[in-house]
Structure 1
Amino acid sequence: MFTADTLTAATGSRRAIWLLDGDDLRSARLPSTEPASPHIHCFRHPDVTSLRSCARLGASGCLEKLASPEVLMRAIRAVESGLFAVDTSLLARALAAERRSPAPVDNLGHLTERQREIVHWAALGMSNKQIGRRLGISPETVKSHLHQVFEREGISGRVALLALHRPDEKTSSDELV
């Protein structure tokens, strides 16, 4: 069993670096026995929102859960040096995902800014949980906004919403018929 004393003895004078499950929302609320202890949040599918969340929580790094031992060791060394640790390939993927062009939707002027944002991400095929994570709101809030949009439009689901707001586009298969 580890205690603060055995952990200190095992690590010498260095502080422990905590690896936390970033996908578990409870980890952000865990009481810390050492508030100054560095911590790295690990995510299954980290994105720009995950990186922002890490920074907001005062994390020392953001990694993918399946990061190689080499990446993990580089991150720990970086954190020991006082740097924020993030795998460069993760950062590149997260930024590329953020720049992805939106799915084509139109006629959204009558919706609120937040509703348009949510419809935009839903049009890209994101789940309520993914949209919530990206926008920093709960999946239930996303669901509530979508429900309001459905009522306002007189429709009953995402597919109908997307069909209503997608412009008619000719695909190459339509042109061949």
Structure 2
Amino acid sequence: MIRVVVVDDHPLVRQGLRSLVDQADGVTVVAEAADGERGVEAAALHEPDVVLMDLSMPGIGGVEATRRIVEADPRVRVVVLTSVPDASAVREALGAGAVGYLLKDAEPATVVAGVRAAAEGGAPLDPRAARALLPDRTGASTPDPGAAAPAAAPLAGPAAAPVAAAPGAAPGAPLVAGREAEVLHLLARGLANKQIGTQLGISERTVKAHVGSVFRRIGVADRTSAALWARDHGYGSPGGPGSPA
């Protein structure tokens, strides 16, 4: 059973999220909190798997509450659920230790899927939040010391050599094809290794090996950076490389 704490200062939102989560198989809300400070206390008391965290709340906001929760227990997976998609908010939340960032106008099924993905080690990111982090069309991006897990420099050797892009990928993108493209596409949707394995009919160990190979090929060090790279280069979009035919 995936244990969830809901932190939001609006009673109707908390009630709606509790109803939504409790109706899902294998997921339950163990506590609610109306502000960040109480959210930190609830996380410490109930030891949830996932915390659904609003950002704008009285007193301690969602970013600071996230930081305190993760510092106290790194096993807790915080997923921000907010109406704010701008880049600074996304960077602050991820920099504080959140593993996911969803928007409140998402489909209910997307929120539940995000909770499941986070609990299984995934990084659910709303596409609009992901786009807010991407460099502009000139390729320039503003360094942010608070950003979570920045991409590593490309590795030396054959894996880092530029090659032709896969069909549908952005020009100049490294080649990620075949099974690796399928894995990257699902990773960009926020699925955890276990979920990817189930969908592709391969073992979780095999998925992990593909993920490591993809990281080396595109020169990133974590799932969030890989998901952002995938969406920027066409691998995370419907009809792009790796997507179902």
TM range (shorter): 0.3 to 0.5
TM-score (norm 2): 0.32
TM-score (norm 1): 0.42
Which structure would you say has the larger Rg? 1
